[in-house]
């Protein structure tokens, strides 16, 4: 099954409920922004996703649905899945208020993928997803199960190396090969990332006192889990920038974009990766 029991899932759900409220509190009238055509997706996921028009697409761990609705606006038939009640309720309201139809399901993603009768041409996940799941093998087998033959999974994620690098660029944060969970509240990274993540003005970070477990999964483990689940790895990318989220306080904003980049004179390592894996027909 998921590898997560109810005692573990409940703090995750509650912590994400609070974090989602905190994050959305910084973003003003999102329905009006979406209806006015604001694009939240980044070119990296759009390039890997390819044609969206008319595609049956599932957005795994979709949070409050902003990315899901941008995918729907590009013509995909979108189903978003997330554990957080707050996130799914917000996504449903946003869909109605912005006039962009999509389906949202509140569910534990691995169990849902193991049980659903739905099948998709495209599965998508991004930016802070598998770290909340303990069992990467079960996740990857679930992804393979919900894809139609010939279907593709696109995953764009912060590179797991990021969590090892301290703000002064020494390796004084998390062990890259850590096995034990990290247990801490979901932070207000939207406030820390300012307008790169859609925050208006100068937001004061919201409080969250519910600690939730998260896990380190190395880059090789993610690729290996997908391959072991029978998916064919078609494309792999590494990027020396972080989209939206200021994953390290030493990073600086690339002028005119929503990217965080290494400052001049610092040797770059990857800050994000992208993978496309296909279920062969």
Ligand X SMILES: C[S@@+](CC[C@H](N)C(=O)[O-])C[C@H]1O[C@@H](n2cnc3c(N)ncnc32)[C@H](O)[C@@H]1O
**Interface residues with ligand X (CB under 6 A)?**
12, 16, 61-63, 66-67, 82-84, 87, 108-109, 126-129, 132-133
Position with the least CB separation from ligand X: 128
Taking the complex as a whole, how short is the minimal distance between the CB of residue 12 and ligand X, in angstroms?
Answer: 5
Nearer to ligand X, 4 or 231 (CB): 4
Q: Is 75 left (phi over 0), alpha (psi -120 to 50) or beta?
A: left
Give 51-58's long-range contacts (Cβ < 8 A, gap of 24+).
52/76, 52/122, 55/121, 55/122, 56/119, 56/120, 56/121, 56/122, 57/120, 57/121, 57/122, 57/123, 57/124, 58/118, 58/120, 58/122, 58/123, 58/124, 58/146
**Cβ proximity to ligand X, 107 vs 169, nearer residue:** 107
Would you say 91 or 147 has its CB closer to ligand X? 91
For residue 84, the minimal CB distance to ligand X (Å) is 4
Where b means 16+ CB within 10 Å and e means fewer, 53-81 reads eebbbbbbbbbbbbbbbbbbbbebbbbbb
Q: Do residues 59 and 49 make contact, with C-beta atoms less than 8 angstroms apart?
A: no
User: What minimum distance in Å lies between the beta carbon of 36 and ligand X?
Assistant: 19
Nearer to ligand X, 130 or 226 (CB): 130
Q: Residue 61 Cβ, how far from ligand X at the closest point, in Å?
A: 4
Return the number of the residue (4 or 223) whose C-beta is nearest ligand X: 4
What are φ and ψ of residue 72, in 5° steps?
Answer: -65, -40
If you search the block for the tokens 């946003």, which residue do you land on?
Answer: 94
CB of residue 121 to ligand X, shortest distance in Å? 19
Question: Are the CB atoms for 248 and 158 separated by under 8 Å?
Answer: no
In the complex, the smallest distance separating the C-beta of residue 264 from ligand X, rounded to whole angstroms, is 29
C-beta closer to ligand X: residue 61 or 79: 61
| The two structure tokens encoding residue 93 | 């309201």
């Amino acid at each position: 099954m998921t590898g997560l029991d109810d005692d573990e899932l409940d703090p995750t759900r509650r912590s994400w409920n609070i974090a989602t409220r905190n994050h959305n509190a910084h973003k003003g009238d999102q329905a009006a922004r979406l209806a006015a055509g604001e694009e939240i997706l980044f070119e990296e996921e759009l390039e890997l996703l390819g044609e969206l028009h008319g595609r049956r697409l599932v957005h795994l761990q979709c949070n409050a649905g902003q990315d899901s609705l941008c995918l729907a606006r590009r013509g995909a038939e979108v189903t978003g899945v997330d554990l957080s009640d707050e996130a799914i309720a917000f996504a449903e309201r946003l869909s109605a208020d912005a006039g962009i139809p999509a389906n949202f399901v509140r569910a534990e993603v691995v169990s849902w993928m193991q049980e659903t009768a739905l099948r998709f041409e495209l599965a998508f996940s991004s930016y802070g997803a598998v770290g909340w799941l303990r069992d990467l093998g079960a996740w990857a087998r679930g992804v393979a199960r919900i894809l139609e033959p010939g279907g593709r999974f696109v995953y764009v994620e912060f590179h797991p190396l990021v969590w090892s690098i301290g703000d002064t660029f020494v390796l004084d944060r998390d062990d890259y090969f850590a096995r034990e969970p990290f247990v801490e509240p979901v932070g207000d990274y939207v406030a820390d990332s300012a307008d790169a993540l859609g925050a208006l003005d100068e937001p004061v970070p919201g409080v969250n006192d519910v600690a939730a477990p998260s896990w380190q999964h190395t880059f090789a483990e993610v690729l290996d889990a997908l391959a072991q689940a029978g998916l064919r790895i078609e494309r792999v990318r590494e990027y020396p920038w972080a989209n939206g989220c200021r994953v390290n306080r030493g990073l600086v904003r690339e002028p005119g974009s929503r990217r965080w980049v290494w400052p001049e004179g610092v040797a770059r390592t990857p800050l994000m990766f992208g993978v496309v894996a296909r279920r062969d027909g």
